[in-house]
Amino acid sequence: MTQSKYGDVSVESKDFITEVEIHRPPHNFFDVQLIRDIAEAFTALDEDPACRAIVLCAEGKSFCAGANFANRNATGAEPGSASAQNPLYFEAVRLFNAKKPVIAAVQGAAIGGGLGLAVMADFRVASPEARFAANFVKIGFHPGFGLTLTLPRLIGEQKAALMFYTGRRITGQEAADWGLADVLVESERLRPAARELAAEIAENAPLAVVSTRTTMRIGLAEAVKARTNIEHREQSRLMTTEDHREGIKAVAERRPGRFVGK
């Protein structure tokens, strides 16, 4: 067994399976640094022959409940910025460029950018308590993390539009029915089930797996980069609106937003 640490992300490898675990409990809110830590771990694992499959998991109640908007730098977006560069999405594209298969073990909330992180993975193992939401419109914001590309690719345009336009939360069972989750298991079986899927991948010829995955995902990282440039532009524009400020306040006060379209 080998272990290492990248900031708030731990890495543990055994029997060709590597657990990459986020340690920001209970809700594992992300910022640029957390996504950079995961990207650094993935980059190192690309060159590690002891890793044939990755289980991406998180300590605490949530898988990743999105960005903590109390941290001004969490999303990398700058109000009113015309720049197409966003440090958060630079790191996100690195995740999509990684070589090894990724299984996300989703035990609770995967919200906003946290949903984007889960969708980045090749497969998702979820518990009935899992909740998936693209809740950006609830806070007067635009979807990010490449979700406007990756979510329709996974579940279809109609279901993705339903999630985007309503901001509704999808249960673990609904996620399994829609194809958003590939495996649904009780919470106590979540990590073992994710490792079992990883082991089923890892028992195969590793060069062939990586080669096949590269072909299956050809052009994906480049497409995510192009899409996140657009998402960043729209996020920066919407950050200047009254509706975004009201949305953040409404979420903090646990009430519906009173939006005015300004």
CA distance 145 to 229: 10
What's the CATH number where 20 sits? Answer: 3.90.226.10
Weakest-pLDDT range from 56-60, 73-77, 90-94, 152-156: 73-77
Per the domain annotation, does 181 fall within a domain?
yes
Q: What is the pLDDT of residue 69?
A: 74
**pLDDT higher than 80, residue 78:** no
- The pLDDT confidence band at residue 77, using thresholds 50, 70 and 90, is low
Per the domain annotation, does 206 fall within a domain?
no
Per the domain annotation, does 244 fall within a domain?
no
Per the domain annotation, does 209 fall within a domain?
no
Mean pLDDT, range 72-90, rounded to an integer: 73
Strands (E) across the chain are located at 2-6, 9-14, 17-22, 53-58, 102-106, 109-111, 123-126, 131-133, 169-171, 183-184
Q: What is the pLDDT of residue 210?
A: 98
Burial class (CB in 10 A: 0-12, 13-18, 19+), 180: buried
Per the domain annotation, does 80 fall within a domain?
yes
Contact residues for 35 (Cβ-Cβ < 8 A; gap 6+): 88, 91, 92, 95, 117
Per the domain annotation, does 166 fall within a domain?
yes
Which residue range(s) make up the domain with 19? Answer: 2-187
Q: What is the pLDDT of residue 20?
A: 98
Q: What is the residue type of 260?
A: V
**pLDDT higher than 80, residue 81:** no
Q: What is the pLDDT of residue 68?
A: 83
Per the domain annotation, does 245 fall within a domain?
no
Per the domain annotation, does 77 fall within a domain?
yes
The tokens describing 150, both together, are 């990756």
B/e letters for 14-25, b = 16+ CB within 10 Å, e = fewer, are eebbbbbbbebe
What share of the chain in percent tops pLDDT 70?
94
Average pLDDT of the chain?
A: 95
Weakest-pLDDT range from 12-26, 69-83, 198-212: 69-83
Count of domains in the chain?
1
Mean pLDDT, range 105-134, rounded to an integer: 98
Contact residues for 74 (Cβ-Cβ < 8 A; gap 6+): 29, 30, 31, 32, 67, 68
Q: What is the residue type of 84?
A: A
Q: What is the pLDDT of residue 13?
A: 97
Q: What angle do CA 5, 8, 10 make, to 5 degrees?
A: 35
Give the distance from CA 188 to its chain's centroid.
22
Q: What is the pLDDT of residue 201?
A: 98
Supply the pTM of this predicted model.
0.94
**pLDDT higher than 70, residue 139:** yes
Q: What is the pLDDT of residue 1?
A: 77
Per-residue pLDDT of 61-76, as tens digits, reads 999 999 987 666 666 6
